[in-house]
A and B are shown apart, each in its own frame.
Chain A
Amino acid sequence: ETGVTQTPRHLVMGMTNKKSLKCEQHLGHNAMYWYKQSAKKPLELMFVYNFKEQTENNSVPSRFSPECPNSSHLFLHLHTLQPEDSALYLCASSQGEREGGADTQYFGPGTRLTVL
């Protein structure tokens, strides 16, 4: 266990559905991340939150909407997805520094999403 949990672990949804992915970290970290992992492609950074503020949106389509109500919880709201959005969605957390340094990241187990 890495101290980062994700629910659900598996999700199947239609293109017109609205669903949400949840991530919770029990490590006292200040930064949280969403990554997308598709077959045959590298892990892709989607969003970064540091001290609850969104600091990076890596040109992600608006059908993905993140929410970070506090430093321990991160959501990814999904609506009108496409079949090519099927992938493993990974949440991660790190200590999060305001100046310099390099954080190591703690990943959750991921949510396997299938869009029909």
Chain B
Amino acid sequence: SQKIEQNSEALNIQEGKTATLTCNYTNYSPAYLQWYRQDPGRGPVFLLLIRENEKEKRKERLKVTFDTTLKQSLFHITASQPADSATYLCGLTSGGGADGLTFGKGTHLIIQP
């Protein structure tokens, strides 16, 4: 069966440092991996998508890498700020257009001033 693991339930990072979140998966091929941010009481908000044939994607202070050999994605926030504190969700789909996502449990990131 398909399985997604986000290694840390919670992660505390000092402001200004780089936060790195991990997402591991099994039994997906091809794979499209998406990262979402969720704030308390709100729905998830899309951040970045990376395809199986892509190694890295960037958007402002965000960077996502994808290693299909290790079946792992890393999500980096550089120069972290307290406003980056939220739960970050990793979601996977095998593609096919309107394909619902399978999500990990999420990592609760806390950026301390």
Question: Among the listed B4, B49, B100, which residue makes an inter-chain contact with A56, where contact means beta carbons less than 8 Å apart?
Answer: B100
Interface size on A, residues (CB 8 A): 34
- Contact in complex: B32, A58 (CB < 8 Å): no
Dominant secondary structure at the A interface: loop
Closest Cβ of chain A to B60, distance in Å, is: 17
- Contact in complex: B51, A102 (CB < 8 Å): yes
User: B43 at the A/B interface (Cβ < 8 Å)?
Assistant: yes
Give the interface segment out of A12-20, A78-86, A89-97.
A89-97
- Contact in complex: B43, A102 (CB < 8 Å): no
Question: Among the listed B32, B44, B51, B95, which residue makes an inter-chain contact with A43, where contact means beta carbons less than 8 Å apart?
Answer: B44
Closest Cβ of chain B to A7, distance in Å, is: 14
Give CA–CA (A108, B42) in the complex, Å: 8
Assuming the contacts A2-B45, A107-B43, asked whether A50 and B93 have C-beta atoms less than 8 A apart, the reply is no
Question: Among the listed B41, B49, B97, B102, which residue makes an inter-chain contact with A97, where contact means beta carbons less than 8 Å apart?
Answer: B97
Give CA–CA (A33, B103) in the complex, Å: 14
Mark A residues whose CB is within 8 Å of B: 2, 4, 30-31, 33, 35, 40-43, 45, 48, 50, 55-56, 58, 90, 92, 94, 96-110
Mark B residues whose CB is within 8 Å of A: 4, 32, 34, 36, 41-46, 49, 51, 89, 91, 93, 95-106
What are 27 pairs between A and B in contact, CB < 8 Å?
Answer: A2-B43, A2-B45, A40-B105, A43-B89, A43-B103, A45-B100, A48-B98, A58-B100, A90-B44, A92-B43, A94-B98, A96-B97, A97-B97, A100-B95, A100-B96, A101-B95, A101-B96, A102-B32, A102-B49, A102-B99, A103-B93, A103-B99, A104-B49, A105-B34, A105-B46, A107-B43, A108-B43
